[in-house]
Amino acid sequence: MRILLVAPSYPPESTSAAARVAEALATELVAADETVAVATRRPGPAPPTPRTYIERRWGVSVHWLAGGGSRLARTSAPARDLDRLFEESLAAFGPDVVHVLDLEGGSPETMAAIRRWGARTVADIEGLQQAPAELEHAIYPSDEAAAHGARATTDAVKAHVVPGCVLVDPSVASVGPRMTPEERGSLHLAAICKVEASDGLEAILDSLRLAGLGRVELTVVGRVVDDRLARSLRVGAEAVPGLCLRLFGSSEPHELGGLLADVDCVLVPSEPSKSASVYTRHALACGAPVAAARVDRSPDPATSPSAVLSFDPRSPAELAGLLRRIGTDPIFLTGLRAAARSAAVLRPTEHARAVRGVYAQARATDP
């Protein structure tokens, strides 16, 4: 089977968890004797003439689409150039199935181009995205997300539930911290996000100021995009009594087991997206409870509501109340830890096997 994965980013240009998961899927598909290509954007300055660079990485043909800015979704002339480059990659590779890994980060023209070339369409749906009319098979990470998606898509879209892929070492997965904040004498939190204005870190500090929890350690895991915001966060943390803030910087997914080994709750403050749901799954695989930002009426984008708490990123008081309960109610925290350890996630080989089953069904569907 010839499979084209459409990814918003890919190693080595990106080391984000989402990019690593895309790489893991491609690698496992090659190991299963599939013929695999990846279409992705090449970051950085655009060449004078938009073009595609093709390279082989571990048996995968990577099509780097260069030009058009940072998002395929922009309705601009350069974005149209990227759409053209994508269609050229479709023609050159000739896939049987195209799997779009992030609908939100892609071009609205992607699905139409795939159908013009006669390939079957598969896409991951993690949040509240509206499925394109051309989509045939939707992969949801949980029954709850699939039920929500069924209300937002047509009957022509076939729904599949495949728990998300995690890259955490099995030896540390589902272990989690053993002490309570009361026993330890401090609450340990981690926030997984980029350090930039849109990712909600300042609201977390506001929540901790309102919660008045005494000794709190907050580790921020993610690339520092905005140095001025990083300085502002350090100043803001000094104004919260008992708070110790650490900006760890970027990390690889396999490092999360060590980083989250003694964390009582992981905060994912950016609104639901592919990247946010990947971070959520990795935290759960480490046995750490998760509190993720939500938008109105949204289901949890990563797993069942019992395993992931949610909060309104616009309401510091709501998050303060949640953190206060985590820090002072050991029975509540024990339940959260148990739910995290039992959350459904798949290792790369298992995930690829399940996704291949979706591809097989897609190919068996009459055009």
CATH code, domain with 217: 3.40.50.2000
Give residues with Cβ within 8 angstroms of 14, minimum separation 6. 43
Residue 351 and residue 303 share a domain: no
Given a contact cutoff of 8 angstroms between Cβ atoms, the answer to whether 250 and 223 are in contact is yes
CA distance 288 to 266: 7
Residue 207 and residue 119 share a domain: no
Which tokens in the block code for residue 257? 């087991």
Residue 273 included in any domain: yes
Classify each residue of 209-222 as buried b or exposed e, where b means 16 or more C-beta atoms within 10 Å of its C-beta: bbbebeebbbbbbb
Which tokens in the block code for residue 179? 């002490």
Residue 353 and residue 296 share a domain: no
Residue 185 and residue 130 share a domain: no
Residue 186 and residue 309 share a domain: yes
Predicted local confidence at residue 154, as pLDDT: 65
Q: What pLDDT tens digit does each residue of the chain (367 aa) get?
A: 999 999 989 999 888 888 999 999 999 999 999 999 999 988 877 777 889 999 999 999 999 998 754 443 333 446 788 889 999 999 999 999 999 998 776 677 888 899 898 999 999 987 666 778 889 999 998 887 788 777 666 678 899 999 989 998 766 655 556 788 999 999 999 999 888 887 789 999 999 999 999 999 999 998 898 999 999 999 999 999 999 999 999 888 878 888 888 899 999 998 767 777 888 888 888 888 999 888 665 554 444 445 688 898 889 999 999 999 999 999 999 999 888 888 888 999 999 999 999 999 999 976 5
DSSP code per residue over 218-271: EEEES-B--HHHHHHHHHHHHTSTTEEEEEEE---GGGHHHHTTT-SEEEE-SP
Give residues with Cβ within 8 angstroms of 157, minimum separation 6. 131, 135, 136, 137, 138, 149
Q: Which amino acid is at 68?
A: G
Residue 207 and residue 298 share a domain: yes
Give bridge partners of residue 265 from the DSSP assignment: 189
Residue 94 and residue 206 share a domain: no
Residue 173 included in any domain: no
What is the β-pairing status of strands 290-293 and 265-268? parallel
Residue 333 and residue 188 share a domain: yes
Residue 137 and residue 94 share a domain: yes
Domain count, the chain: 2
Predicted local confidence at residue 127, as pLDDT: 64
Nearest to 258 by CA among 288, 278, 216: 288
pLDDT per residue as tens digits for the range 68-90: 544 433 334 467 888 899 999 99
CA distance 330 to 181: 8
Residue 250 included in any domain: yes
Residue 322 and residue 218 share a domain: yes
pTM of the model: 0.86
Given a contact cutoff of 8 angstroms between Cβ atoms, the answer to whether 280 and 268 are in contact is yes
Predicted local confidence at residue 304, as pLDDT: 43
Domain range for 139: 2-165+346-364
What letter would DSSP give residue 346?
B
Residue 125 and residue 242 share a domain: no
Give residues with Cβ within 8 angstroms of 311, minimum separation 6. 291, 292, 293, 294, 318, 319, 322
What is the β-pairing status of strands 60-66 and 51-57? antiparallel
Residue 176 included in any domain: no
Residue 108 and residue 210 share a domain: no
The set of long-range contacts for 126-132, using a CB threshold of 8 Å and a minimum separation of 24, is 126/102, 126/272, 126/273, 126/274, 126/277, 126/301, 126/302, 127/272, 127/273, 127/274, 127/277, 127/295, 127/298, 127/301, 128/152, 128/272, 128/295, 128/298, 129/103, 129/104, 131/103, 131/157, 132/103, 132/108
Token pair 């799997």 in the structure block, residue: 99
Q: Cα dihedral sign for 351, 353, 354, 355?
A: positive
Predicted local confidence at residue 129, as pLDDT: 65
Predicted local confidence at residue 74, as pLDDT: 38
CA distance 323 to 90: 48
| CA contacts within 13 A on the Cβ side of 215 | 6
Which tokens in the block code for residue 102? 């992030």
Q: Which amino acid is at 54?
A: I
CA distance 37 to 56: 9
